[in-house]
Amino acid sequence: MPFDPLVPPPLYATIRLMGSVTGAKLAKAPTPVLCVDLDGTLIRGNLLWECVLALLKTHPLTLFLLPFWLLSGKAFVKRKLAATTHLDPARLPYRQEVIDLLHRERAEGRRIALVTAADRELADSIAQHLALFDEVHASDGQLNLKGHNKAAFLAQHFDGPGFEYVGDSAADLDVWRKARAAYVVGSNRRAQQAAAVTTLKAAILDQPASFHTWINALRGHHWAKNALLFLPLALSHNLTLEPLARTFLAFALYGACASGLYILNDLLDLHSDREHPWKKERPFAAGEISIPQGLLASLLLLSLALGFGFLLDLRFGAALLGYATLTLWYSLHLKKIALLDVFVLSSFYSFRILAGALISGTPLSQWFLAFSLFFFLSLAMAKRYSELVHAPDLLQSGNSGRGYRTDDRELLLSLGVGSSFASVVILSLYVHGQEVRVLYTSPEFLFLLCPIVLYWLSRNWLLAHRGELKEDPVTLAVRDRVSYGVAFASSIVIAASMLHVSF
């Protein structure tokens, strides 16, 4: 037997030993059918959870029927979910290693069967899409073809030639006991369990989600946006210990809340993200983290953030709850409404400033609120414009999850650039107000902020127009050297405005 690099050395030694004993006998037997599991094996993920997410996004109230469907058994639940939702088989996260294995076996004339606990309707659509299977066996609304049920069915159905089985879960151990050989997808521990009950031919080992993968899922780089909570303190020149400490706690809670919502948003956008040029690399879209793990992480983060948020300050907790509610509404519905989506998106920045003002007890200037409205509206439009530039095919197919058409880009460009100039005009009026003169010794220097801010906004739009803005502008600023230069120049201007300079 040739060495298979997918099998770890201890298991390979076991395979060689078993192969030497039984090789002559197997050579005379008819070629066993290769049976392939679907959930967790052929695809990264589980169709049941894929359907639940699709139902949550399209018909969320229908989820309340799940407990009643469950009374009729898991197979009935799968049948109802398959009938109520629509999953495009072309968008599923297939395991390329398993696909390659099936192509090799099919080229050698091997008979291949898809055998899954997923509903028959979904299994048939996937088999038709891949065109790799000679037959399909799946749950039928009454029998849940999993574990012992699958093992008994395969042992009877392939009694003559026998079968080899490609699986991944603990429930597949019953199947491997009846199989002539096993192909294991998953952990080294699962491969050892399979080797203990049958001949192990190969193992495609998965690595658990790394710390870096989880940071990407939590959008750790987006925590930079939460620095906006400190803006009310900075603008009021209030650096006393208590409000600073409370704002640091609020920063952490807001970050946890936002990360939980980012996960939930990514799960709801799972199917459209898989068609996007760069969003398809996100951990959930790529199948690097499972849907149940994501839902659990989101629930824990949101519960932690909201619970401690109300304990820290009732008004801050209410603001955090308002942000979470609006974000969830945005994920489910508002993002599909053209233009309204960017107004809501820009309000998320303002929520952070408001939360910082509430937790530190700092009043906000009406001029500053007006400036932030147009400033962040411009950034939100740049983000959406960039998405329209990079995913025209997705827009034309109607699978983008947004309410825009390709020819809407010019309008967004005009509105976004206009918002940029409006924000700078308001800033120029603000720096000449009486409120500013109370805080700055030489406020006339602050006028220099206007060309600096306008340059940064204009550059963002230039990058977006060139197709070089592939992320949120605020997130880009964290890794952009030009943005650091703009920040440094702004700091010099602010420092100069705080000094007494006579002309």
Length reported for the chain: 503
Q: Report the pLDDT value the prediction gives residue 454, as an integer from 0 to 100.
A: 96
Q: Give me the residues paired with residue 115 across strands.
A: 137
Phi-psi region of 339 (alpha: psi -120 to 50; beta: other; left: phi over 0): left
Q: Measured in whole angstroms, how far is the alpha carbon of residue 390 from the centre of its chain?
A: 18
Q: Measured in whole angstroms, how far is the alpha carbon of residue 168 from the centre of its chain?
A: 24
Q: Report the pLDDT value the prediction gives residue 474, as an integer from 0 to 100.
A: 77
468 pLDDT exceeds 60? yes
Phi-psi region of 35 (alpha: psi -120 to 50; beta: other; left: phi over 0): beta
Cα within 13 Å of Cα(268), Cβ side: 23
Coil, strand or helix at 165: strand
User: How do residues 207-258 score in pLDDT, each as one tens digit?
Assistant: 888 899 999 999 888 898 899 999 999 888 888 899 999 999 999 999 999 9
20 pLDDT exceeds 90? no
501 pLDDT exceeds 60? no
193 pLDDT exceeds 90? yes
CA distances from 435 to 122, 243, 366, 383, 497 (A): 64, 21, 11, 33, 14
The band of 308, judged by pLDDT with boundaries at 50, 70 and 90, is very high
φ, ψ (nearest 5 deg) of residue 118: -70, 165
| Segment holding 186, helix H or strand E | strand 181-186
2 pLDDT exceeds 70? no
Task: Give me the residue label for tokens 């066996």.
Answer: 137
φ, ψ (nearest 5 deg) of residue 39: -65, 125
Q: Residue 194 and residue 202: Cα distance in Å, rounded?
A: 10
The band of 392, judged by pLDDT with boundaries at 50, 70 and 90, is low
pTM summary value: 0.80
Q: Report the pLDDT value the prediction gives residue 200, as an integer from 0 to 100.
A: 95
How are the residues of the chain apportioned to helix, strand and coil, as percentages rounded to the nearest 5?
70, 10, 25
Residue among 204, 200, 115 at smallest CA distance from 155? 115
| Mean pLDDT value of segment 442-447 | 88
| Segment holding 422, helix H or strand E | helix 409-430
Q: Residue 139 and residue 121: Cα distance in Å, rounded?
A: 9
Which stretch, 150-154, 361-365, 387-391, has highest mean pLDDT?
150-154
Task: Give me the residue label for tokens 């460009």.
Answer: 413
- Inter-residue contact 378 to 388 (CB < 8 Å): no
Q: Report the pLDDT value the prediction gives residue 472, as an integer from 0 to 100.
A: 75
502 pLDDT exceeds 70? no
Task: Give me the residue label for tokens 């996260």.
Answer: 93
Sheet containing strand 199-205, strands side by side: 135-139, 112-119, 33-36, 163-167, 181-186, 199-205
Residue among 387, 316, 244 at smallest CA distance from 395? 387
399 pLDDT exceeds 90? no
Lowest-confidence range among 189-193, 370-374, 429-433? 429-433
110 pLDDT exceeds 60? yes
Q: Residue 154 and residue 451: Cα distance in Å, rounded?
A: 73
Contact partners, residue 419, CB within 8 Å, separation at least 6: 374, 375, 377, 378, 381
Average pLDDT value over all residues in the chain: 87
170 pLDDT exceeds 80? yes
Q: Report the pLDDT value the prediction gives residue 165, as an integer from 0 to 100.
A: 97
φ, ψ (nearest 5 deg) of residue 453: -65, -40
